[in-house]
Structure 1
């Protein structure tokens, strides 16, 4: 059941989560998504991090990832302030991981790690949906690619007793 805000009317994010949850009822699929969705999110951030930028200008490596994270954060903050801050914290942590890997091992290592994680996590997702017996939500609406990470975060917040 969706969380309700103060005036007890469902918010758009509640409807998105209800719909997403309907496609994710199998316990194995839910466990897979709990791991694979954040992994995919990190890999997308890392892939964006690897987009070359002129090193002489204002832009630094990671600017494309930062831009994507800012845009996504705006979506999450509109949905819920708590989810917005939670996703922002995830973005900062994932961006820091990208920066650390790129600094310690180079952009090539970050790129190959991102590709490997992306491929393995998507294979896991499709295996989970095979057990679920339902197609992935994003095949009906690409917005679900943004909903998935927030859905995983909301499940974690719920377990911690934090209302979103």
Structure 2
């Protein structure tokens, strides 16, 4: 069995309840996005010096996502392409929020992060099982890939 199949199967063991699954479809992408927003909010003069001071994507989140995508590539090239598209979407939305200047990106991201985690823990309370990342930290990255693999299966794309 491929490593990605093993990880997705193990992750799925604690995600059988339909309510918990539904909550995950909302909260996992929000958590992923909120982390992108929080990391993008870290002052990034050094990154801007390398990637260009006028580049709106010259921030720590872009660099962190490159590393995350390398991890996904080691698991599945096909799945990593979907995760790359979602990552780019998260960077784009974070950039739009920052430019709108309604509130600081870090504040909006922090609120989303807290609310989404409350949702996640509620879902696991309903499920009656602990979140997978408490067993193995890499499941924080497997959660988004687990959702992506369902999209791939629906579209008939091998992962």
TM-score, structure 2 as length reference = 0.91
2:72 corresponds in structure 1 to: 76
1:10-159 matched pairs, under 5 angstroms: 10-54=1-45, 57-58=49-50, 60=53, 62-105=58-101, 108-159=103-154
Distance 1:22 1:126 in 2: 16
How far the C-alpha of 1:154 sits from its partner, in A, is: 0.7
How far the C-alpha of 1:105 sits from its partner, in A, is: 1.3
TM-score, structure 1 as length reference = 0.88
Distance 1:158 1:34 in 2: 15
Q: Which one has the bigger helix percentage?
A: 2
Distance 2:82 2:150 in 1: 12
Which of structure 1's runs of 4+ aligned residues deviate more than 3 A?
A: 55-62
How far the C-alpha of 1:24 sits from its partner, in A, is: 0.4
Q: What are structure 2's unaligned runs of at least 5 residues?
A: none
Matched residue of 1:142: which SS?
coil
Matched residue of 1:134: which SS?
coil
Matched residue of 2:72: which SS?
helix
Count matched residues.
Answer: 154
Q: Give the aligned CA root-mean-square deviation in angstroms.
A: 1.6
